[in-house]
Amino acid sequence: MPDQQSAVVPQRPSRRGVLRTGLAAGAVGATGIATASAAGALPGLGATDARPATRRGRPGNSGVRLRWLGIAGWEMTFDGHRVVIDPYLTRQRFTGADGKPDMTRKLEVDHRIIDRVLREHLTAAPEFLLLTHGHWDHLADVPYLLEHPAWRDAEITVLGSETHLHLLTAMGVPGKGRKHRPAVVSGGEVLRHPLQQSGRRSRPDYTVEVVRSLHSQVGGYGFDPYGTLTAPPARPRTLNDLVEGGTLGYQVTVGDRLTVLFLSGTANFAAREVSGARPDVLVLGASGHAAVHDYVERALETLGGPRVIVPSHHDDLVTPLDDPAVHGTVDRAAVDRLRRAAGSGSRVLSPRHLDRFEI
């Protein structure tokens, strides 16, 4: 995928909270009208991050909370609803003795940490599970989470590309008798929850909008493992078997209160796919973009300077979530770069693993 070399000058959307695609055939938009962001004292964040912010429009907190699951994993909760993005908890080692990535390593599942996180933090099943791409540090735990006693009887809609769902099928999803609903998306879909009742017109509690995106590009301008699938493969056994299969972003709009855009799974994006978007909150992949021209600056310019920015995918990927040392593995330089690029117009938060905070 070629690097995008020029900044995109954002155009104001005709409706607030609506994504417009510059190259797609039609407009992509959330049905809710986003107004603003809110934040008070945020547990788990440093003193410099806990400055109060005032929402545009009506005062008060949004009631929308985020929890960082490490790497690119997120939980978003509000009004009894729950959406989870890229929930990877195992955090297995991926390098060989030479310190270089070794994609021949066998896939591992840390049942101990999965049990603990679901017992103490992810205490209810999500309505949607959103996949940004197919690599092990995004998708590998999904089959085990869906079969976990805490989730297996829930009705969970899993969104991902054709490749992502072929990988899940090869790993046994959905299991026999399960209510889980894998659904193929490719970018442009605007999905409502709850479903529209036949013969009745109603506003949704929230919408999930799918955005085509791009994978990070690092040394050598590439990434590994790459590839796409048109049918389920043999059951994946190694890191190399979980291929990218296209990259997606997601915008979740909560009624008329708040819009959160998750470009969280990689450190790259397709500017023309989100040009004109004005999310209240941007969750942005923050490290691993050595080959991407002016990544942070272009993202913030294209999106019009979101009022709240939350970095993602910026820890060491391997330190266990219940090891206190995990909080020290965050790439502070990436957070600082976000702050410099955002200036005084946006508030950049620095989340702690598994802590929930209101936005």
Residue recorded with tokens 């003795």: 97
- Mean pLDDT score, 236-250: 98
Q: What is the pLDDT of residue 38?
A: 32
Q: pLDDT, tens digit, for every residue of 3-23? A: 333 332 233 333 334 464 333
Q: What is the pTM of this model?
A: 0.85
Q: Which residues contact 348 (CB under 8 A, 6 or more apart)?
A: 49, 309, 310, 311, 335, 338, 339, 342
Q: What is the pLDDT of residue 48?
A: 32
In the predicted structure, residue 220 carries a pLDDT above the cut 90: no
Measure the CA–CA gap between 46 and 132, rounded to whole angstroms: 28
- Mean pLDDT score, 19-41: 33
- Ordered DSSP codes for 158-221: EEE-HHHHHHHHHTT-SPTT---EEEE--S--EEEESPPPTT-----SEEEEEEEE-----GGG
Q: Are 21 and 30 in contact (CB under 8 A)?
A: no
Q: What is the pLDDT of residue 19?
A: 60
In the predicted structure, residue 54 carries a pLDDT above the cut 80: no
- Mean pLDDT score, 154-170: 98
What Rg do the C-alpha atoms of the chain give, in angstroms? Answer: 19
Q: Are 113 and 320 in contact (CB under 8 A)?
A: yes
Element (H, E) at 272: helix 271-274
In the predicted structure, residue 26 carries a pLDDT above the cut 50: no
Element (H, E) at 253: strand 247-254
Q: pLDDT, tens digit, for every residue of 292-349? A: 999 999 999 999 999 999 999 999 999 999 999 999 999 999 999 999 999 988 999 9
| Percent residues over pLDDT 70 in the chain | 83
> If pLDDT is split at 50, 70 and 90, which confidence band does 126 have?
very high
